[in-house]
Structure 1
Amino acid sequence: MAQQPIVAFLYDFDKTLCTTDMQNYAFIPSLGMTPAEFWKEANEFGRRNRMDGILAYMYTMLREAERRHLPLTRADLVEKGRGIVLFPGVEDWFGRINAFGAEQGVRVEHYVISSGLREIIEGSSISGAFKEIYASEFYYDEQGDPVWPKLAVNFTAKTQFVYRINKGVLDVSDDKTLNDSMPDDSKRVPFHNMIYVGDGLSDVPCMKMMRAYGGQAIAVYQESNRPGVEDLLAKGRVDFIFPADYSEGTVLDTTVKDIIRKMAVTDRLWEENAQQLRSIGGDVLPNQVGLF
């Protein structure tokens, strides 16, 4: 019996699932700073020191907390994730989409690929919906204090996690298996069964991968970033753009369900073709978009 096909959703987090940068809700106010003040400080620090922007903001978090003698343990950051504000419909989106996928004969999985902090995401009400959360993260000592960046996910580094999901090599410390050669038909989640959801230029490398390898790229927007998202569509960098409303019956909801239907049908047709080829001793080709 053929293995049940997997459809994987890959999400950015800030301004894709929640309304602003995740640090803005609780962490930055705890410093007595405005988001504009904090990000200006972090960005200028990074430029002065020719530092990766993600490492610069992580260092700025530690430095500003230390200056104010504020605790900054892993538990503190997780707690600050409780204040994240999600877009409409996000709370029940995952359960609805999983159920719809099951109706179509596919298993749906959800992943985060974010330049934000894993610790804050884990404090959100939806953290349990994800098979894996790939995001920037600190390494903590025995007292729970951050001492070093454990993972820094900048915009181009996001693409490695797409490959990890594709091959099913989810452990970030396992580079050997990730780089091992693997036949296309043995990869756990084919690229053409992936849907990437983001909100802007920082997501373009992953969106480009989706479009190059047969997956789908979706950009969501608020009115504040609508022009930028429309530009992505005009330049062919995304397949679809929608308001950031995940509620049942929205255009985003109905289009995603149509995409899942298409992926499910493509997988069924490929499996039928493969069975016929096996029955006559023919060669089974990798499942590719456009094969049918």
Structure 2
Amino acid sequence: AAQGLRVEHFIISSGIREMIEGAPIAHHFREIFASSFIYDHHGVAQWPALALNYTTKTQYLFRINKGVLAVDDDRGINEYLPRHERPVPFENLVFIGDGDTDVPCMRLVKDQGGHAIAVYRPRAEGAQAQAARLIAEQRVDFIAPADYRKGRTLDRIVHGILAKVAADHTLRALGKPD
């Protein structure tokens, strides 16, 4: 963990959970929240079990924030939990979004004091301009090409945010009486 932080990764996607779970990096994520199916005894998809869209995705930010990760735990997600008792404060969240269905989540994270990054495909016509519009509209804090390699712009932004989160935590701790 960088700078004394415990870093966890989650996916919140409108895509198909089973496809995401088949990706070679899936095991690096604590939880994958995505659309899924109900299967019969032969393993054939019968019916959608869960469908995520641009508005329902925000629910999963609150699940992470409150530590209520079971998608069927409606009671836990709706119970009052003071902000200072929540396991993952919004101020510590970094949300990386790559499409229109991520805009409500990016805005929510930013409005709650977290950090929102819009990534774009550099070669896609108009993609950078669309991401820049999210900055102008104050929906995100940063934009970067969707290049997740070490040392690239996105990597440097994320590491800068982690350094800020660690520094904020240290300063808050110093401000508390002994």
TM-score by length of 2: 0.94
Counterparts of residues 1-292 of structure 1 (less than 5 Å): 102-222=1-121, 223-224=123-124, 225-274=127-176, 276=177, 279=178
Task: Please list every run of at least 4 consecutive aligned residues from structure 1 whose deviation after the TM superposition is greater than 6 angstroms.
Answer: none
Q: Work out the CA distance in 1 between the residues paired with 2:2 and 2:72.
A: 35
The residue identity in structure 2 corresponding to 1:110 is H
Is 2:17–2:34's contact at 8 Å kept on the other side of the alignment? yes
The residue identity in structure 2 corresponding to 1:266 is D
The residue identity in structure 2 corresponding to 1:212 is D
- The structure where helix makes up a greater share of residues is 1
Q: Work out the CA distance in 1 between the residues paired with 2:153 and 2:103.
A: 22
The residue identity in structure 1 corresponding to 2:174 is E
- Percent of aligned positions with the same letter in both sequences? 49
Q: Work out the CA distance in 2 between the residues paired with 1:152 and 1:247.
A: 30
Q: Work out the CA distance in 2 between the residues paired with 1:103 and 1:164.
A: 24
Is 1:104–1:264's contact at 8 Å kept on the other side of the alignment? yes
Is 1:200–1:229's contact at 8 Å kept on the other side of the alignment? no
Q: Work out the CA distance in 2 between the residues paired with 1:147 and 1:272.
A: 56
Counterpart for residue 90 of structure 1: none
Q: Work out the CA distance in 1 between the residues paired with 2:87 and 2:141.
A: 24
Q: 1:103 to 1:229 in 2, by over 3 A?
A: closer
- The structure where strand makes up a greater share of residues is 2
Is 2:12–2:60's contact at 8 Å kept on the other side of the alignment? yes
Q: Which gives a bigger RCO, structure 1 or 2 (Cα 8 Å, sep 6+)? A: 1
Segments of 5+ residues of structure 2 without an aligned counterpart are none
Is 2:93–2:114's contact at 8 Å kept on the other side of the alignment? yes
Secondary structure of 2:9's match?
strand
Q: Work out the CA distance in 1 between the residues paired with 2:16 and 2:94.
A: 22
The residue identity in structure 2 corresponding to 1:252 is L
Please give the per-residue CA displacement for 1:62-118, whole angstroms capped at 9, x wherever unaligned: xxxxxxxxxxxxxxxxxxxxxxxxxxxxxxxxxxxxxxxx24000000000000000
Is 1:199–1:229's contact at 8 Å kept on the other side of the alignment? no
The residue identity in structure 1 corresponding to 2:141 is D
Is 1:233–1:241's contact at 8 Å kept on the other side of the alignment? yes
Segments of 5+ residues of structure 1 without an aligned counterpart are 1-101, 280-292
Q: Work out the CA distance in 2 between the residues paired with 1:103 and 1:231.
A: 31
Is 1:113–1:134's contact at 8 Å kept on the other side of the alignment? yes
Q: Work out the CA distance in 1 between the residues paired with 2:56 and 2:32.
A: 14
